Amino acid sequence: MSDSESWTSGLINEQLRKRFENHDTAKVTNLASQACIAANMPQKTNIVFEGKAGDNFGGLNNGSKIILNGDAGRFVGNGMKGGEIVINGNCDDGVAHSMSNGSIVIQGTVEGDAGSSMKGGSLLISGSVRGDLATCMSQGSITVCGDVLGDIGRLMESGKIFIGGDFDENDNIESKNISPSDWKKIKSELKQNGIDSSDLNFKSISAKIPLKKEKEEKLGYISLDEEIISVPASLTRRPRTPGLDELNLSLTIGSKKEEPLNLTIPLLWQGNNAPRYFNWRINERIEDDINSSNLAIIDLTGTNITRRLDMKRPTDLSYIVELINQSSANKLPILVRIYAGDVDNDLGVIEKSGADGVILVGNKMPIEAALVSSRNYRKQMVILAETNELSHETSVKLLALGASGIFLKNKCTGSELKEFGIKLSKEIGILGVGNISDLGTEHLRTSSQKVASMTGIPIAGYDSVLPMWRH
Is 2's pLDDT higher than 60?
A: no
CB 127 within 8 A of CB 110: yes
Query: What is the pLDDT confidence band of residue 7, given thresholds at 50, 70 and 90?
Result: very high
- Among the three residues 207, 236, 268, which one is the final residue of a domain in this structure? 207
* Residue 470 in this model has a pLDDT that exceeds 80: no
If asked whether residues 160 and 236 sit together in one domain, one would say no
- Are 350 and 235 in a shared domain? yes
Provide long-range contacts, Cβ within 8 A and 24+ apart, for 46-49: 47/16
Phi, psi at 327, each rounded to 5°: -70, -25
Residue 220 domain flag: no
DSSP 8-state secondary structure symbol assigned to residue 38: T
Number of domains present in the structure of the chain:
2
* Within a domain: 147: yes
**Pair (29, 143) in one structural domain:** yes
Task: With respect to residue 248, please indicate whether it lies within any of the assigned structural domains.
Answer: yes
Residues facing 359 on adjacent strands: 337, 384
Same domain? For 230 and 195 the reply is: no
Q: Say what the pLDDT of residue 383 is.
A: 97
CATH at 71: 2.160.20.60
Single residue among 173, 207, 241 that ends a domain in this structure: 207
Residue 106's contacts (CB-CB under 8 Å, 6 or more residues apart) are 76, 87, 90, 91, 95, 123, 124, 125, 126, 127
pLDDT at 324 > cutoff 80: yes
* Closest by CA position to 132, among listed 119, 150, 117, 159: 150
SS3 state at 336: strand
Tell whether 10 and 57 lie within a shared domain.
yes
Are 385 and 379 spatial neighbours (Cβ–Cβ below 8 Å)? Answer: no
Q: Are 385 and 412 in contact (CB under 8 A)?
A: no
Q: DSSP letter string over 242-270? A: BTTB--B--EEE-TTSSS-EEESSSEEEE
Three-class DSSP category at 173: strand
Same domain, 181 and 233: no
CATH code of the domain covering residue 237 = 3.20.20.70
User: Is 92 in the same domain as 143?
Assistant: yes
Same domain, 381 and 265: yes
On average, the pLDDT of the chain sits at: 93
The string of pLDDT tens digits covering residues 373-420 is: 898 898 999 999 999 999 999 999 999 999 999 999 999 999 999 999
Residues 234 and 192 in one domain: no
Contacts with 52 (C-beta within 8 Å, 6 or more apart), sequence order: 31, 32, 33, 70, 71, 72
Question: Which pLDDT tens digit goes with each residue over 125-147?
Answer: 999 999 999 999 999 999 999 99
Residue 467: pLDDT band (50, 70, 90) is confident
Are 121 and 251 within one domain? no
What is the distance between the alpha carbons of residues 112 and 76, in angstroms, rounded to a whole number?
Answer: 12
Reduced to 3 states, what is the DSSP secondary structure of residue 464? Answer: strand
* Three-state DSSP class for residue 119: strand
Give domain status of residue 188, yes or no. yes
pLDDT at residue number 3? 61
- Length in residues, the chain: 471
Please report the pLDDT score of residue 217 as a whole number: 66
Rounded average pLDDT over 277-282? 98
Residues 329 and 363 in one domain: yes
Lowest mean pLDDT across 123-127, 218-222, 318-322, 385-389: 218-222
In a domain, 217, yes or no: no
**Domain end among 207, 241, 274:** 207
Q: DSSP E strands: which ranges in 118-225? A: 119-125, 139-144, 160-163, 173-177, 203-207
Domain range enclosing 89: 4-207
Q: Does some domain include residue 215?
A: no
Least confident residue range of 302-316, 361-375, 456-470: 456-470
In a domain, 415, yes or no: yes
Q: How far is CA 263 from the centre of its chain?
A: 22
Residues 236 and 347 in one domain: yes
